[in-house]
Structure 1
């Protein structure tokens, strides 16, 4: 039962039931079918999830390719499947090129769908796969990673939220939530070049300022920054920029930490058959605590799924 002032009356049984319905599915190894049928199957799935919006984006990507524009990124997901189909028909797959980024995009989509498609809000979130790809995929990857650490994650129902609201939250107890805001600036996404350290730091500080306003007058929370690059080398600049921003004294005391989410275009791949590959998740995460933070500790940071696998 929800109260108008934000309090929640619940019980352990209700929490357990809600967790089964909206909790994250266990991590799985994602298999990409390296044939036209496998890519087509994903395209049909995305078209259904987005009520046809992905089909429109796919048609635009096809027209761009036919006109010689092989880097039409209005919809990264549509570009990725279009690019992979073209490679399958007329060329060899080269992981160290933009082929690797196309694979990475498909990889993270498959992981997101596998882990979250049962969630009551997934259809709403999945619509962002078309034209808000980096924001949506960073949000779901972060939700999955935090869930693996034992945190109870929820998604904000924007239609019911008042004003600008954070994307997600951590349920600390029966009545309290900590906000999580996702930022995936266009300037930090491939194929744009990695910004200089100074520019990178400024971008993070500016997003932190925006995020703190979305936490409410007395709220505290986490800021998540998503970035992508063809190779993993840019992650070192990313981490250095977060460190610089955290220690610049320009980050609000209401931001507990900044989480970096880096998508590399070089997914780890294992050949498992003539027509398919098994790929690991292409995201890498890191967290930097804000020494000026004034709120309570609330985040679990040990991956329970890894611990359980080692038992």
Structure 2
């Protein structure tokens, strides 16, 4: 059964300021926690488009939210295809969009999906299992320098070069096939003193490989920029991130869209004509409560940022 505990569920949906006849997008359907709350607020003229690249999540959540079938359209696609997928339904403007970048608990917990460094399984890590690149392909074919680069950039792992070197030495003997094989390689590449602190030694490397396999940051950047463009006047975008790389991207996109005149201070009047297209609602991100963190450990690093369209 596909069961996922939604983080910042009520805060994110409240931030969207849902209108009953509006058009909304849940860019990350997952277990459907946010979609259910949005659908509850929609009237007969309202519509929710729910995206997920994981077919299992789509099928399970579609069954669970059957009573809202008249107001939800499900789309099996990566959210980087937001504009083109919505265009097939004749939609080029929306009243709100929500992103929840947490990996769904069922994906992490299902050993077969190959995300876990604690359960043995074939190396996979694909959110969309129809895509060609898997973790096994990446780990066994990418050049050492490129491996080191992604482990450092996406995992912020200071022993990235040692880990990449260990991976390349091992795969020269035989392909790296499973999650525990990789986890053991990573563990042995990290100095013993470091291994004894800070959680599982393979955590950062597995995160980095997952992000690279699914091009998560590239897709997210494109999708948030597209989401801002799609918004109607007073429409809102709400983004829940779980690590600093995602949060930085979100913050920078909002700040860029919120910029006004860029003329030098010495100019008596504005000649650039630039006006802000959004207003940032959350100068500081909304964080989960202590109670939510106590009941759902995956919520501890969540941050919610919201912006509103003020210029079409």
TM score, norm. by length of structure 1: 0.27
When Rg is computed on C-alpha atoms for both structures, the one with the higher figure is 2
